[in-house]
Structure 1
Amino acid sequence: MNSTMVKQEFTALFKGYKIPKELKSLLEFQVSENIPSYYSNAIYLMTEETSLIENYSTDEAFLKAFIPFAEANSSGSIYAFWIQNSEEDLAKAPIVVFGDEGGIFVVAQNIQELLQIAAYDVEAVVYEDEFYFQDKEALEEDGEFTAADFNMEYLDWLRSDAKLKPILTIDDVDALVDEAQANYQENLEQYVKRFI
């Protein structure tokens, strides 16, 4: 598939909302010839619609409240923007993860934070009742960590193009996630309860 088609399909996911500039830039990076495979175990932009959110609810209001845009792990969990009102600027919208086996959790307060977390290069673990990023050092000790092929290039892109500082320790990842959850998780749970 050529990059023009990929960009058109990616744009279609956003239902008319303006795509944050960081995501447009990341898509350019992802489709470039220099990046033929994964650049982070924590994120990979999708170009096709997913029906995962419909597994939670098929209510139109619920489906309109979330815009899925990226894979969160290798088992099928996805990231989505949570739109709390129709005027929302996606660059300021919180990011949630939908688990492939259940569970909806706030991950980051905005797309910039998610891109910083993705620098850590560890996929999200999502269960029905918990969500977290694993400790990379512990995974390495157990021989269970494989860095994404183009993670160094992603770090360069993050610093130079997105002008964001990579988050490279589990403590810093946890701190960002904890803050986002403190601000949004309870509201998200109350919102989801209306539909499920």
Structure 2
Amino acid sequence: MVKQEFTALFKGYKIPKELMNLLEFQVSENIPSYYSNAIYLMTEEASLIESFSTEEEFLKAFIPFAEANSTGSIYAFWINNKEIDDLTQAPIVAFGDEGGVFVVAKNIQELLQIAAYDVEAVVYEDEFYFQDKEVLEEEGEFTPAEFYSEYLDWLRSDAKLKPILTIEDVDTLVEHAQIAYQEKLEQYIKQFV
């Protein structure tokens, strides 16, 4: 049932195999709780995108698929090219629960690597970042996801991806993705607001 609900979110697009594998991992009996503070797959439609625009073209351009943090921000694929049929190459954006839309990663593989950092995204109307885990730990404000080590194992063995484990590497990936797509994203959104 969960698989059907998740599949329905993708509006007919083929779901990247890494995401289907992650869904199987997420719903397995061995993983009854969170595995990363940075991502958790959704199984129901998110209405957050509609708070930015209700125009059909805008809504069709984004496929929300995961929670980005505990306050309601979400990740979505941005289909920035009408001919795109392979979501593995679509950039990932975060829609903030307090406003703001930001490019996070160039593709789903990068997002899964960033999720290995295990820190939730901070999304404001004019700012997006991941906090430094070491600082959070020093301040007693970091609690690792319960099944974090299992996620790292899954990432390495099933997804065949290298975990990103430092804030510097996370920031570099996000920065490169934003250089490639953020200005285009902002220009796109301006058409609808």
Q: Which interval holds the TM-score relative to the shorter structure?
A: over 0.9
Report SS of the residue matched to 2:112: helix
1:104 equivalent to 2:101? Answer: yes
Q: Which of residues 10, 20, 29 is equivalent to 1:14? A: 10
RMSD (CA atoms)? 0.4
Match of 1:75 in 2: 71
Sequence identity percentage: 83
Match of 1:190 in 2: 187
Unaligned runs of 5+ in 1: none
Aligned counterparts of 2:127 and 2:186: Cα–Cα separation in 1: 13
Aligned counterparts of 2:43 and 2:69: Cα–Cα separation in 1: 15
After TM superposition, what 4+ stretches of structure 1 lie above 2 angstroms from structure 2? none
Deviation (angstroms), 1:149: 0.1
1:46 equivalent to 2:64? Answer: no
Match of 2:133 in 1: 136
1:65 equivalent to 2:54? Answer: no
TM-score (norm 1): 0.97
Match of 1:150 in 2: 147
Aligned counterparts of 2:103 and 2:66: Cα–Cα separation in 1: 14
- Aligned pair count reads 192
Amino acid at match of 2:64: P
Unaligned runs of 5+ in 2: none
Q: 1:76-101 CA distances to partner (integer Å, 9 max, x unpaired)?
A: 00000000123311000000000001
Report SS of the residue matched to 1:172: helix
1:169 equivalent to 2:173? Answer: no
Report SS of the residue matched to 1:185: helix
Q: Which of residues 111, 116, 137 is equivalent to 1:114? A: 111
Match of 2:20 in 1: 24
Amino acid at match of 1:81: F
Amino acid at match of 2:78: W
Q: 1:104-144 CA distances to partner (integer Å, 9 max, x unpaired)?
A: 00000000000000000000000000000000000000000
Aligned counterparts of 2:7 and 2:83: Cα–Cα separation in 1: 18
Aligned counterparts of 1:11 and 1:142: Cα–Cα separation in 2: 40
Aligned counterparts of 2:127 and 2:152: Cα–Cα separation in 1: 28
Match of 2:177 in 1: 180
TM-score (norm 2): 0.99
Amino acid at match of 2:12: G
